[in-house]
Amino acid sequence: MIIMEKVDILGVPVDNTDMEGALARVRELLDGEGVSTVYTPNSEMVVNAAKDGEFMGILKSGDLVVPDGIGIVLASRIYGHPLPERVAGFDLMTRMLDMLAREGRRIFLFGGKPGIAEKAAVNISKIYPGISTKGIRDGYFKDEDVPGIVEQINSSGAEVLFVALGSPKQEKWIANHRERLRVKIAIGVGGSFDVLAGEAVRAPAFFRKAGLEWFYRLVTQPWRAVRMVALPVFVLKVLKDRGRRGKD
């Protein structure tokens, strides 16, 4: 079994791994017992978890927790336990799809606006022909629809469930239904279906490599600015937390 060292970021234990290590762990979880969960926190999610005990507990219970945002990597450096690299949720999803295609695995896409998961599935079948998408369900549903959704997922025979409901909705949904699901892995992937469907674009490689995807998003989607206030708040909290830990 791969035992990963954890780096504590404001109480959230993030696995000290790069993309290759994360994929090796996913590979292992595919053959493991029960339902494994994969979460990809960024700084906004960590700040939310610090205020929401239920969400914090869920992130702590993840079988693989990777640093989606550059803020998390920066924080790990501030703490003096540097994480090797950012493992963006979208990149992890596409690398997983590549691996799952080679193994002829079955997946289910749950989330996004009506029609989005269908478009994503069409593109996935073109790019990763070995994959079998066993089911699709949009992410706009009522409480009374949930048992039917769980049944749809279970009867599809999917091994990997990608959940794109945004955070923390997707992590809470996965954790609340973990016991009833019969997939091997459930992973929260945020807006990834929108990108795979061709409805949203990622920041150009230059911005991603420079750790400036957040800046690109700020300029192209200024309405996200409110959410991005979380980044400086996060850095200040980390600096304070480091100071406090230093005194312990």
Closest to ligand UDP by CB, 32 or 166: 166
Kindly tell me which residue out of 23, 64, 73, 164 binds ligand UDP, with binding defined by CB under 6 A.
164
DSSP summary character for residue 55: H
**Alpha-carbon span 248 to 240, nearest angstrom:** 13
Looking only at residues 179 through 198 of this chain, which bind ligand UDP when binding is defined by CB under 6 A?
Answer: 190-191, 193-194
Q: Does 41 bind ligand UDP (CB under 6 A)?
A: no
H or E element that contains 186 = strand 185-188
Residue type, 163: V
Distance of CA 219 to the CA centre of its chain: 23
Q: Does 117 bind ligand UDP (CB under 6 A)?
A: no
Q: Mask of contacts with ligand UDP, 218-237, x by CB under 6 A?
A: --------------------
Q: Site size for ligand UDP, by CB under 6 A? A: 14
H or E element that contains 185 = strand 185-188
Kindly tell me which residue out of 35, 139, 171, 187 binds ligand UDP, with binding defined by CB under 6 A.
139
Helix ranges restricted to H, 31-168: 43-51, 53-60, 70-78, 89-102, 116-127, 146-156
**Alpha-carbon span 199 to 4, nearest angstrom:** 36
Closest to ligand UDP by CB, 21 or 111: 111
Provide the binding-site residues for ligand UDP, judged by CB under 6 A: 111-113, 139-140, 164-167, 169, 190-191, 193-194
